[in-house]
Amino acid sequence: MTEAPTACILIIGDEILSGRTQDTNIKYMAGRLAALGIKLKEARVVPDVPEAIIAAVNFCRVLYTYVFTTGGIGPTHDDITTACIARAFGRKVLRHPDAVKKMDVFYKGDLNEARLKMAEVPDGADVALIENHVTSAPGYRIENVFVMAGIPSIAQAMFEAAVPLLRQGDPVFSGSVDGEAREGDIAADLTALQEKYPKVSLGSYPSVRNNRLCTSIVARSTDKALIVQALEDVAAMMLRHGVEPKTTKP
């Protein structure tokens, strides 16, 4: 059986670290990667510091099958991602002629130097543009690194355009059992169930609802049948603890 491809997401931008902007790209891409059978192994937020971006890209592109970056490819002075990606790969930056043509049509000939910055990519025949049907300013792929915009609607459009370029694995499904149970009360039983189902990942997520402690047990696997069996056992375990379970099947 071929090992599933892996991925890392690098969110680039001081606006995320300052709390000014809330990231939603991780949530979207994590769900899509799971559906594509690509294991998201890491997600990190990187500041607008060239050395930090270069170090993160060079570390992650060796460790994972794919790296997806979002943010920092706009028209302003603090959009430094492309320059940093080029340095990470030892490349120069050039203005891609195909990107310029598409943007010229979109902007109806009103392309100033700031907008033309969004047509810049690292040099090399292996660099491929990623379509952007929202604003026409593209992302791009260089080896196993996919460079995309930070605005969620554009990042999502670019991600979907890049999907045909990805090697996919078996999709990961999930289901859950929720109940007004305290984690400490069911921890031992949950450990036993995890040992019983080694091919199913059982995660425990506590919360407070209506001033009552609740726990959601989420089962993830590429095997739907195994998830259903595991969830049945989790529900039965909660009943033994006097908790009414609510099951959501994959």
The pLDDT tens digits of the residues spanning 82-119 come to 999 999 999 999 999 999 999 999 998 888 999 999 99
Please indicate, yes or no, whether residues 13 and 127 belong to a single structural domain of this protein.
yes
CA distance linking residue 193 with residue 227, whole number of Å: 12
Assess whether pLDDT exceeds 90 at residue 190.
Answer: yes
CA distance linking residue 62 with residue 86, whole number of Å: 16
Please indicate, yes or no, whether residues 159 and 199 belong to a single structural domain of this protein.
no
CATH number for the domain harbouring residue 195: 3.30.70.260
Spell out the residues 6+ positions from residue 3 whose beta carbon is closer than 8 angstroms to its own: none
Tens digit of each residue's pLDDT (9 = 90 or more) over 124-178: 999 999 999 999 999 999 999 999 999 999 999 999 999 999 999 999 999 999 9
| Residues 106/135, Cβ–Cβ less than 8 Å | yes
Please indicate, yes or no, whether residues 189 and 128 belong to a single structural domain of this protein.
no
How many domains are contained in the chain?
A: 2
CA distance linking residue 114 with residue 197, whole number of Å: 55
In a domain, 1, yes or no: no
Tens digit of each residue's pLDDT (9 = 90 or more) over 38-78: 999 999 999 999 999 999 999 999 999 999 999 999 999 98
Please indicate, yes or no, whether residues 96 and 191 belong to a single structural domain of this protein.
no
DSSP-derived secondary structure letter, 119: G
Please indicate, yes or no, whether residues 142 and 34 belong to a single structural domain of this protein.
yes
Q: What is the CA radius of gyration of the chain?
A: 22
Provide the domain limits for residue 85.
6-165
CATH number for the domain harbouring residue 70: 3.40.980.10
In a domain, 239, yes or no: yes
Please indicate, yes or no, whether residues 34 and 150 belong to a single structural domain of this protein.
yes
Please indicate, yes or no, whether residues 28 and 129 belong to a single structural domain of this protein.
yes
CA 146 to chain centre: 11
Neighbours of 146 (CB within 10 A): 24
pTM, to two decimals: 0.88
Please indicate, yes or no, whether residues 131 and 239 belong to a single structural domain of this protein.
no
**Sign of the CA dihedral with 10 first, then 13, 14, and 15 last:** negative
Please indicate, yes or no, whether residues 66 and 133 belong to a single structural domain of this protein.
yes
